[in-house]
Structure 1
């Protein structure tokens, strides 16, 4: 599977954005935090080079409050296909804070969603915190059952690394 081609991140799947908005609303008044995972556009039937954001990966042990969310980076699985991050601002502000900018180093796109978590309550940013366009794409998401095909021994092995 070719994940990172010259086309970069083309957009976010409509269902993925909807999931993130709903999860942020359910987490409110605390911040929501996750990593964005991508799938090659050609694997989704698109005749374009690049990656489409198709998943939000929530890391176990993530803590959140109304002011921040903290991820235990040592629990991020290898090969997670991360292309960036997503988090909510319960106060509704759709621009990165200074703290946000320090976390934007990993990945090429970072999404902030804000209260009241409606379809127009989100913005995308590049690693420098500058606004960037991110199309919402109507694609059929792949069944990624293999991602959930693990047991306790797999979890124990991952934690030992």
Structure 2
């Protein structure tokens, strides 16, 4: 991997492979999935695996806008999550991170950058691709050990349930 002579920590034009990916096909339009993500009352219904639940969602889908929520566990666990949107293409793609605050200040120790892509399919369904990118292999493995596949998979199942109840 080539390094930038000015900054030996920078690797221009290259990406590392520290990502975890969840793919699903939903029987729903991209517009419906967008709505389930961007409306706080809907997001709170499905976003983390039961018996955990989300409260206090603040969603401002624009670059620099907040993506905040708090997860509560069945034994009194409380996990606040604060982040910002980096990129927003309505009904198609959005990227969030916990690395920054809304005023673009570093937020401390970043955990990941998450991207969701919605790919319309010819049959009216939508391919859903959720990717969690991490700064290093250790953080990626930590996320995997925390149950990325199981947790994000259960949340996607809950999203599929909600989408069946929603009207196009």
Structure 2 length-normalised TM: 0.31
